[in-house]
Structure 1
Amino acid sequence: MSAFPGTPRTLKGALVAIDPLVPVPTVVLFQYNPHTLTRQLEARGADGGPAATSYTGAPVETINVEVELDATDGLETQDPLAVSLGVHPQLAALEKLVYPPSARIIANTVLAALGSIEVVPPQGPLILFIWGPRRVLPVSVKQFSIVEEAHDPQLNPIRARVSLGLRVLSTDDLGPMHPGHALFLAHQIAKEVMAGLASVTSTASALSAS
């Protein structure tokens, strides 16, 4: 059944992991956008007290979302991946975000066996939380829980809910040469522009009402 022609196309949220050592980024599109997105901002006060009015940096922001995965449509259309693995690949792509690369583990194991005190540095990917064109944020994944709600005869999950706890990485967390530094700064500037638009609109409404 076709959608109503006047219905706007909704962009999909996503997580994207960019590793400088891997040519192709890991892209995890949300199959269904979460119904709610919870954000919490904790201000960084200059003196650390509750009455601080100047701030040493951007607030510490956390984002919590619940992502739904469902292979039902793929099973109905006999999609080979959904039939053979359910939503396992999508879950694996999300879980990969909180695992160190196996290549690093193997390299460090080999170095340790050879008696070397050198280890491969734990450089992780740049993870971006994308929620529309005006929110592209560098984040780290701090919390991850999965509820598998249904399975196929091979015990592959075919429906699951994934709760993600993300911490936004600001210019205070990333060095000036880190690509995420510029992304967060652009996000903050865009926020300041939108706040200015809100002030102009509120002022105009107050003047017209007086």
Structure 2
Amino acid sequence: VDALRLRGPAVETIKLEAELDAADQLELPEQNPTAAQLGLQPQLAQLEMLVNPTVETLQAEDALANAGTLEIIPMEQALTLFVWSKNRVVPVRLTEFSVTEEAFDPHLNPIRAKISFGLRVLNVDDLGFGHPGGRIFMTYLGNKEQLAARATSVAISVLGLGGLP
């Protein structure tokens, strides 16, 4: 039955929300001068750079275009890893990103922000087995297999079924 055949790793997506708050750092401004001067702007800018090319990259692309060189494929971004414990290190592409700045200092620097992420796990179908991200994915998948083997199975009778039809 073709419907039961696996053609490769499943497409995985991850969605999460995170809240950043500079309140603790602002209590000791002498020890946290960057937070005192800029609030959360450096951290937010670092996250935003996951979805934006650098100025240097854009200028290089523009110079090539002005020289008459046509680049067919889009610019390649750096490999992004989502690290959520030692067993969950996985290459991802950021598919959704939004920031809600909720509180500000007197200079209008954000000091509390909520961030929403949508991530698509990049697997060997996307990157290939020889790509560093492909190797990281294979390690992640191996870790997942080992974790799944440690889970206890539940008998079908727990669901009130005597057996499969």
Name the TM-score, length of structure 2 as normaliser.
0.84
Give the deviation of 1:63 after TM superposition: 0.4
- CA distance 1:185–1:163, change in 2 (3 Å): same
Q: Which residue of 2 aligns with 1:172?
A: 125
For 1:137, the aligned partner's letter is V
| 1:55 counterpart = 2:6 | yes
The match for 2:104 among 148, 151, 157 is: 151
- CA distance 1:168–1:118, change in 2 (3 Å): closer
2:49 aligned counterpart, secondary structure: helix
| 1:69 counterpart = 2:20 | yes
Asked if the contact 1:104–1:120 (Cα under 8 Å) also holds between the matched residues in 2, the reply is: no
1:163 aligned counterpart, secondary structure: strand
- Structure 1 residue runs of 5 or longer lacking an equivalent are 1-45, 204-210
- Structure 2 residue runs of 5 or longer lacking an equivalent are 155-165
Q: CA RMSD for the aligned pairs? A: 1.9
The match for 1:163 among 116, 122, 125 is: 116
Q: Which residue of 2 aligns with 1:129?
A: 82
Give the deviation of 1:116 after TM superposition: 3.1
The structure that is helix-richer by fraction is 2
The match for 1:89 among 26, 42, 46 is: 42
The structure that is strand-richer by fraction is 1
2:98 aligned counterpart, secondary structure: strand
* Number of matched pairs: 152
Q: Which residue of 2 aligns with 1:108?
A: 61
Give the deviation of 1:192 after TM superposition: 1.6
Asked if the contact 1:108–1:120 (Cα under 8 Å) also holds between the matched residues in 2, the reply is: no
Alpha-carbon separation, structure 1, partners of 2:64 and 2:138 = 39
**Structure with higher RCO (Cα < 8 A, 6+ apart):** 2
Give the deviation of 1:80 after TM superposition: 0.7
Alpha-carbon separation, structure 1, partners of 2:137 and 2:67 = 42
Asked if the contact 1:63–1:166 (Cα under 8 Å) also holds between the matched residues in 2, the reply is: yes
- Identity across the alignment (%): 49
The match for 1:197 among 150, 160, 165 is: 150
Alpha-carbon separation, structure 1, partners of 2:125 and 2:26 = 46
